[in-house]
Amino acid sequence: MKKIIVILSVLLFSSLLLTALPSSVSACSCAVVSEPQTSYNHAEAVFSGKVIDIRRNNRSGYSPLKVYFEVKETWKGINETQVIINTGLGGGDCGVAFEVGKEYMVYASKSSIYDTSGLSTTICTNTGLLSNAQADLDFLGEGEAPTEEVNIMEEEKRKSWFMWGGIIVMLVSISIVGIILYRKKR
């Protein structure tokens, strides 16, 4: 009787252990990439452009990517000559593996998926290399050239210098106040 209880206990423990172990799954999976018309209807912005820079978005601990594009043609939602699109790092977070210097067809929407409020894209859209986007181009027809000239890279440099200038002014002010208080105590 004792032997049966031990065997049953081992079997029960083994079955619990097997069901409790995590199985390998992918965090991101897309059933099928949509037809161009469906992707167009769901996107807030559709354009083709060349990647001019890729940076980490340091606004959160996760740190997704900010991809800077020089816009060539636009079909929906973009009028600027440059735009930033957020995406993940790739793998399980659905991020698109963009490369600097390559041209892409981009379908993007406002989303907080990557901890940002700007436009984002994932592998679950029709976003991909422009050289592989003939079906999209056939559906979309001829796009328009962007009408608003912007230089996002320069704007971000100005913002960065302004921020660092403010920090330096604050540190100098704190130092001066500290020196004044120190001298008053003497």
pLDDT at 1: 61
Percent above pLDDT 90 for the chain: 39
Higher-confidence position of 16 and 55: 55
- DSSP secondary structure letter of residue 32: -
Q: Calculate the average pLDDT of the chain.
A: 79
Model confidence at 102: pLDDT above 90: yes
